[in-house]
Amino acid sequence: MNTERISALCAGYPTPFYLFDIHVLQQRIQTLRARLPKEISLCYAMKANPFLLPFLSDIVDRFEVCSEGELQIFHNLHMPWSKLVVSGVVKNPQAMETVLCQSSDIGAYTVESRSQLMMLDKLGQRHGVRLPVLLRLSSGNQFGLDEKELRTIFCDHARYPGLDLCGIQYFSGTQKTSLRRLQRELQRLDDLISDLNAASKITLRELEFGPGMPVAYFIGEHFDEEAYLHQLSESLKAMNNDLRITLELGRSLAANCGSYVSRIVETKTTAGQNYALLDGGIHQLVYYGHAMAMKQPFCQLIPQRTRTDDQHWNLCGSLCTINDILVKQLPAQDLQAGDLVVFHNAGAYCMTEGMSLFLSHDLPLVLIQTPQGSVLPVRPAAATWPLNLPMLPTK
């Protein structure tokens, strides 16, 4: 988005705020679809950014929710139940009951433990339906089932008449750049599915795979996305099993459509270091791997300031902690109070992973720019102090 548009928005809306450009989001999805095999489905993990959901309804194939709160948002937005993947490391039986009562046309439920398996099986039997289930294969952490237990469940599938064990879900991490690792993971999954088909006498139909496709958040990072997508496509084409393959690409789908806009409210020099203090901070902007600003995110100054070796600035937020550093040693001439700083690639996770209740600062405004160019406020700035206020009994 150009600087004139950002400046105009700041004249009408208070900073800090998030701005998500739907045209950029749509172009990103078109780019991914053009580079992946045409039969591949795309899944958007809602946790990456819930404010994008209404604008993705018709252009992605599935939506993954991981909490009761996300289910409520999904329901209130009247999203298509058939595209829903009900995930989450913990599942509340009452919430699962509610979901099934709202629709029997859920796309899939994931299973991360034996107890989840039993709970969903009983639910399906009680309602006289077979719930479509993806068993999550663990990558060696608290998520999912280990391979031995997963094999046992598939081989014992007749014991679960309330479930349709239709496939596997597998995520092995995020920000993964190794093409060899990607190829090995898909080969392993393909071999596992072949073994399961032979041993269980059923045919698995689905694989949901989270490749952990990287996003370049910091200056100096190099990621050859064209090579990555080419290798991913070739590995998918080489799989032997005939499956519906869904890629969960939440971070990679949404990151480049978002900006976080903050304003410099004060500048000062202390012990020879120049500091610009912003009205935002790390409670509202979190980049993956951005610890104490050891790496510099992509950002833009408005008005543009001359880059110089004579002056360097530390951009700090409004929190009372020395950790609240957004940029270290930014080369720029004469930063001033009132200048704007636009942080790019903030469309995924950046707004939801921060410690937003710290110091009871307001939650920022959220703006959406439509493909037609209009800007919609979809969440007002909201006070958090009532959430931190002790509710003592009255005398």
Average pLDDT, the chain: 95
Question: What Å distances lie between residue 361 and 277, 313, 319, 343, 353, CA to CA?
Answer: 15, 24, 9, 19, 15
Q: Is residue 312's pLDDT more than 80?
A: yes
Instruction: Find the mean pLDDT for residues 252-271.
Output: 97
Residue 6 token pair:
């950002």
8 Å CB contact between 386 and 357: no
- DSSP tag of 138: P
Of 207, 363, 226, the residue nearest 285 (C-alpha): 363
Q: What is the pLDDT averaged over residues 230-255?
A: 95
Higher pLDDT: 276 or 307? It is 276
Across the range 220-233, mean pLDDT stands at 93
Give the mean model confidence (pLDDT) for residues 147-153.
Answer: 97
pLDDT at 269: 97
Q: Tell whether the model's pLDDT for residue 1 goes beyond 80.
A: no
